[in-house]
Structure 1
Amino acid sequence: MNQLHDTSRVVALVPAAGRGVRLGESMPKAFVPVGGSPMLTLATDGLIASGVVDHIVIAAPAELLDEARILLGHRAEPACPVPVSVVAGGAERTDSVRAGIAAAPQATHFLVHDAARALTPPSMIARVVAELKSGCPAVVPGLPVADTIKSVDADGEVTGTPDRSVLRAIQTPQGFDGQLLRDAYAAGMHATDDAGLVEAFGARVRVIPGDPLAFKITTPLDLRLARTLLAERDTPGRTEIFEQLNTVTR
């Protein structure tokens, strides 16, 4: 990145210490291979390819720090154009993000990105950062909700049907002003994602168009889809499915 007169420093935090039990694999989710490469490696390479990230901090399981550094290879070396640091994550996602924040005191902006969104297009990452640099304190990508959504009570009875035209399924990376995210975490509030945390802190969050390829690999079906998509992408003459998906939100 390092554009003339641009003194900002964008640090991407990748909380990758989760076990991902719903995936049904014998290893932590971020280390599960997709198309021959672990999700963690694919997600990191996507951040680097975006051209808008200055530093990446991976929060890995404490017992797998060496394995994470080996997987990342040259990316974790100081000579890498976009240096990658590996720190110990925590039991909860928020613990891992907090560890990443502590490891990047120089950041003017943060991206928080799921390793499980391993196919996220670099162009979408660049759009999030562009919105941050335009002055938005918090930016998240999101897709319109296709299914009808019902709210239910503890007995499974429907309590409401929200208008899906105003709903969005939120993806990552989620982008934040650096001090805003630090302050929100320091306040000790709880939320299901980082955007929810800064919302609770009183900040306005902007939603920009997401991308179908930024889906989260959570279940065995998701993993099968991701592997199929990568196989399509890497097969000569079979890139049309990627091209079709990438035109959905343009």
Structure 2
Amino acid sequence: MSETQRTVRTAAVIPAAGRGVRLGPGAPKALRTLSGTPMLVHAVRAMARSRAVSLVVVVAPPGGAAEVRNLLDEHSLPEKTEILVVPGGETRQESVRLGLAVLPDDIGIVLVHDAARPLVPVDTVDAVAAAVRDGAPAVVPALPVADTVKQVEPRTGGEPEPVIGTPERSVLRAVQTPQGFDRATLVEAHEKVGLEGEGATDDAGMAERLGVPVVVVPGHEEAFKVTRPLDLVLAEAVLARRRANDDF
């Protein structure tokens, strides 16, 4: 390993400015609680526990940075890891870009993690960071797709949708986070790839648009995204099992 590789630090950016409408009315999704602790805190802990990560940047809802900072200060977090909170934008893409803007110069690897994936195991975080450190410009953790997937011609109003194709399941992967990047690659993607509407939900997809090779490392079944009420039930079950196994 060269001297440059040894001195390059890794940061995690957690965009947490979304409202999470699919979980229903109330607090933003990242601030919903699991076992009495906000999902965002679980997600920050998951990043901060990684041996690779020395800085976590939390991108808060616009106007909510002070509230999120106070929330994090109320919970125990690994002291070895610096945690910054900055206000976010109207889209996830804009929030990630604002998180990138505050990174110190010595950060060479960036992990982007969904606050709504609060239970990602630390081994998965470490594996993504290690793959970038070993030379991959963009890395995603992913799992094989269990269900048969159909491509359809979309219809509105609940009408039946014609099937127009069945992709080969063996070559499909369900992508998770954290997604890892060489910093220069991710910055270039956010500078050059402009997406309309809600912007990018997948930073690796932005890198693909630049022609950057993206590689997959094994994901984990516990890194699922908490999007709907049933996901909260599953997440509570995972936390209960971890407590029973003293892994919490």
By the TM > 0.5 criterion, same fold?
A: yes
Residues 168 and 96 (structure 1 numbering): CA distance in 2 closer, same or farther, change over 3 Å?
Answer: same
The structural deviation recorded for 1:24 is 1.6
Is residue 142–residue 208 contact of structure 1 (8 Å, CA) maintained in 2? Answer: yes
The equivalences for 1:217-228 within 5 A come to 217-228=226-237
1:63 to partner: Cα distance: 2.6
- Aligned letter for 2:80? P
What is the match of residue 214 of structure 2?
205
Match of 2:238 among 221, 229, 250: 229
5+ long unaligned stretches in structure 2:
156-160
Shift of 1:228: 1.9
Superposed structure 1 runs of 4+ greater than 2 Å apart: 74-77, 188-192
Q: Aligned residue for 2:188?
A: 183
Q: Secondary structure of 1:114's match?
A: coil
Partner of residue 93, structure 1? 92
| Deviation string, structure 1 residues 15-69 (Cα, Å, up to 9, x no partner) | 0000000012400011111112111110111111111101111001123212211
User: Per the alignment, in what secondary structure is the counterpart of residue 64 of structure 2?
Assistant: helix
Candidates 164, 188, 196, aligned match of 2:169: 164
**Mapping 1:21-170, distance limit 5 Å:** 21-73=21-73, 80-106=79-105, 107-155=107-155, 156-170=161-175
Contact 1:76 1:84 in 2 (8 A): no
Question: How does the TM-score come out when normalised to structure 1?
Answer: 0.88
Give the TM-score normalised by structure 2. Answer: 0.89
Letter in 2 for 1:85: L
Structure 1 vs Structure 2: percent identity of aligned residues?
47
CA contact (8 A) 2:5 2:133 kept: no
Conservation of the 8 A alpha-carbon contact between 2:30 and 2:115:
yes
In the alignment, the residues of structure 2 paired with residue 75 and residue 186 of structure 1 have an alpha-carbon distance, to the nearest angstrom, of 35
Q: Please say if residues 193 and 206 of structure 2, whose CA atoms lie closer than 8 Å, have aligned partners that are also in contact.
A: no
Root mean square deviation of aligned Cα: 2.2
CA apart distance, 1:103: 0.9
The answer on whether the counterparts of 1:33 and 1:39 sit within 8 Å (CA) in structure 2 is yes
